[in-house]
Chain A
Amino acid sequence: MASILGIFCAANFGLRTLLTMDTFELAIVGAGPAGLAAGVTAAALGLRTVLVDEQPAPGGQIYRGIEAASRHPDSARVFGEDYMAGADLVRQFRASAVKYLPLSQVWQIDRDRNLWIRGANGVTAIGARQVLLATGAMERPVPIPGWTLPGVMTCGAAQTLLKSAGLAPSGRIVLAGGGPLLLLIAAQLMRAGNPPAAILQTSTNLRRAIAHLPRFVSSPSYVRKGLGLVAELRRAGVRIERGVGDIRILGETRAEAVEYIRAGTRRREQVDLVLLHHGVVPNTNLALSLRCEHEWNDAQHAFQPRTHAGLGSSVEGVLVAGDCAGIGGAKAAELRGRIAAYNAATNIERISTDARDRQCAPIQRELRPHLRARPFLDAYFEPPRDLLAPVEDDVVVCRCEEVRAGEIRRIVTEQSCPGPNQMKAFVRTGMGPCQGRLCGLTVVELMAQTRGVSPGEIGYYRIRPPIKPIALGELATRAQEK
């Protein structure tokens, strides 16, 4: 059967238009601390740099809305000093020569390192000699009974609404889960005028964490901040329930109550809003779509792109920095962003490796205390097993395709299934619009726990472009002549 498509002439046409695109020495995806710091550094080194981000303003997740917020007298009190510190970085970025494309989603990076972008003016493409992925982190999915109901969102979602829109939830709020951000966000909501009715903290794992304690206490600022938050919340009368298990959200068309077990008894809270959180994990879809090799980080229970000392990935010309390369927090992200910029400059022979090493040495020193604190936090706030892989069969795992835990487990036990991609084929997990972002890790953990192997052995979804939804008409668009 002869092809009806003029593919070969199409290929020629494509090539010709691509050659006329605007090309940069460095293209950065993500305007969080990693991307911003990389941009500022690269521009100072004279690299022609572009930074693309889907948000309307620079800041990423942690510094979301910082420019507007920093002009408001209440911000410092509500959000705290760590947030306000972002204002300075954003100012430096605005003053730099980096070309900034806000409200622009990178939906594909092709083999020739062209970035395909969907923005206000439709689809455009730009070329790049080096690409830095600084796509940050997303909150780990918290698949518990009832988590798909309206009236349930992530803690980060509430925080984002507060930072970017000044919106806070009214009514009775309960926060549930674990991780350092849980308390921070509770405190921010409290300062914004609506203290949570309760914080339900899952069991912490001191036994696993104890070995890392000495290194942790040698990073005093982390200890001080954590204890400070607990004290602040307690003073304000916020109830913190520790060692909570079996959390479930009840309700028909919206969340009405949350149930949990503590100290052997089942308890119930009426709620207007439940905010879930259990740490953050790398946002890797763009790196995966580029076929960067990924590795399992057992301490953080997540996959991350494999990087070498220069923050390069396994794909030539593609670097990764910030939380998307492994969770390190905002300050570490910023410092690694700077290191990545020096490496990008070295890769295109703008500065010598000696110069790079000289410049990076003090940054590496500054980075150390931040990395020291991480192993303790990872171990202490390790997500409980039943949260990584729901025990109950009717918990929704894939929110888009409405696939439940039991169906996934049944495939593993009743017929062999080599991994998550075959699973996807069998039950449609990860086939919906979120492209596996919200179910990928849970599917892998479910398969791993059922088979009794490490998630690293199970592997992860293959992700293909477009990694953000575009209309078919936009896919048909050729690169615009520049």
Chain B
Amino acid sequence: MKLTADAIVIGGGLVASAVAYGLTRLGLKPVMLDEGDVAYRASRGNFALVWTQSKGPGVPEYQQWSRLSSDKWSELAAELQSETGVDCGHRRNGGIHVCLSEDELAKRTQVVEQLRAEAPPGRYRAQMISRAEMLKLLPAFGPDVVGGAYCPDDGTVNPLFSLRALQRAFSARGGRYFCDSRVSSIAAAPRAFTVETASRSISAPRLVLAAGLGNKPLGEQVGLNVPVRPVRGQIIVTERLKPVLEYPTTYIRQTVEGGILIGESREEAGFDDTLNHTVSQTLAARAIRTFPFLKQVGVVRTWAGLRVMSPDVYPIYEQSSAYPGAFVCTCHSGVTLGAAHAFEYAKAVVDGHLPEKLGRFSSRRFDVQARH
């Protein structure tokens, strides 16, 4: 079947869905192409923080970009709720980073100070807090907690409901979403792209690669260098509890439904997304040190997801110079950056050029590294 569209977005996770939804907001009728039910889909396995307090020491552009998205999440959530009736579960009560040793505390203090120094005055609002202040926020902290950081701008969403809402709103605005549509090849010319799947051939003047780990091979077909690799992260979720943790912490939080999410590890394991039991043990042990009441609480599920990681952990935003009209949008914090992607990145795609503030995230930075 042959189809034409205003734009093709490849991917079906949070990054693709946010950009694709953003394109429909600007009046485009894009096609979004996703793989099947079982795929490397980090959007289904993440920890769902909308987080700023630790983002981008040494890279102020990243700090500002994360903060912008965090600021715009309430707007995105409200808009999606009114368009689809789905509550994305966005909460912005502030978030805590927990330190379990003096060493962790010293390291975190350094990060917080550097970020404050690199932010415009008054923009960075996280601060280190004492154990006593931590206990005032969450009395459930255990004796091993020595202190931490608190940032009023941090929050969480329900990533699964957000994904569902973005995709619904996208379809409702005239976008077409095709699952089970793995892209096998791309024929590229400037502002003219034809993408092949097993059952369809789709042409459009704009192409956005937002396929997570799939961006690397797809990028090669349109002259984009996207050196992403998988980094495995495991998460544990417990049975539902009555509300106990009012604030999220970097590695432990209570969901709106009541379950406690415990994450998240980092492991180089290639494309292997099976669970490493030793990692589960370590996560569980650390969670119990942080909140001793968790020891008795029942585990319902554990899973491993593959993060989409660039060599320097920052996003890759680029337009192909060989084939203008082809963009790549990839990052490892697709939840936090969801609003920025929906509102700002989509606009850049429509405008036909990326704004200067995203210049820091060009994939040309990796060429430079390679030449050294």
Contacts and interface: CB of A to CB of B under 8 A. Distances in A.
A118 B297 CA distance: 15
B179 A422 contact: yes
Contacts of A421: 37-38, 44
Given A11-B278, A475-B284, A469 B299 contact: yes
Interface residues of A, number: 49
Interface of B: 34-38, 44, 54, 104, 160-161, 163-164, 167-168, 171, 177-180, 236, 238-239, 251, 257, 262, 265-267, 274-288, 294-304, 313
A55 to B, nearest CB: 20
B301 A418 contact: no
Nearest to B289: A476
A415 B167 contact: yes
Nearest to A3: B266
Contacts of A472: 236, 238, 262, 284, 287-288, 294-299
A266 B236 CA distance: 49
Given A291-B274, A425-B44, A433-B239, A465 B302 contact: yes
A476 B302 contact: no
Contacts of A416: 167, 171, 177-179
Contacts of B36: 418-419
A100 interface: no
Contact of B275 (A7, A417, A464, A470): A464
Contacts of A464: 275, 301-304
A426 B160 contact: yes
Contacts of A11: 276, 278-279
Nearest to A470: B299
A418 B34 contact: yes
Max chain A C-beta neighbours (<10 A), residue from B54, B251, B281: B281
Contact of B282 (A7, A465, A470, A471): A7
Contacts of B37: 418-422, 458-459
Given A7-B282, A291-B274, 19 more contacts: A5-B265, A11-B278, A13-B278, A14-B278, A108-B277, A415-B168, A416-B177, A418-B35, A418-B179, A422-B37, A422-B44, A428-B160, A433-B300, A459-B37, A470-B298, A472-B294, A472-B295, A473-B295, A475-B299
15 contacts: A3-B265, A7-B265, A418-B34, A418-B180, A419-B37, A421-B37, A425-B164, A435-B301, A466-B301, A471-B298, A472-B288, A472-B294, A472-B295, A472-B296, A476-B288
A470 B282 CA distance: 16
A110 interface: yes
A124 B278 CA distance: 14
B160 A425 contact: yes
B163 A425 contact: yes
A227 B60 CA distance: 81
A478 interface: yes
Contacts of A3: 265-266
A288 to B, nearest CB: 12
A85 interface: no
Contacts of A458: 37
A414 interface: yes
Contacts of A7: 265-267, 278-279, 282
Interface in A364-401: none
B278 A10 contact: yes
A477 B35 CA distance: 38
Contact of A419 (B38, B167, B286, B301): B38
Contacts of B251: 4
Contacts of A420: 37
Interface string A430-445: 0111010000000000
A435 B178 CA distance: 28
B282 A10 contact: yes
Nearest to A422: B37
A465 to B, nearest CB: 6
A330 to B, nearest CB: 32
A471 B38 CA distance: 28
A431 B238 CA distance: 10
B25 to A, nearest CB: 17
B266 A5 contact: yes
A171 B251 CA distance: 53
Contacts of B161: 426
A349 to B, nearest CB: 28
A147 interface: no
A462 interface: yes
A241 to B, nearest CB: 40
A10 B160 contact: no
A466 B299 CA distance: 8
A426 B278 contact: no
Nearest to B232: A7
B277 A110 contact: yes
A291 B275 CA distance: 11
Nearest to A457: B180
A465 B275 contact: yes
A471 B267 CA distance: 24
A348 B276 CA distance: 26
B149 to A, nearest CB: 13
Nearest to A9: B282
Max chain A C-beta neighbours (<10 A), residue from B179, B286, B298, B299: B299
Contacts of A13: 278
A15 B278 CA distance: 9
Contacts of B266: 3, 5, 7
B187 to A, nearest CB: 25
A355 interface: no
B54 A1 contact: yes
Which A-B residue pairs are the 6 nearest by beta carbons?
A: A419-B37, A14-B278, A418-B179, A476-B284, A473-B295, A418-B37
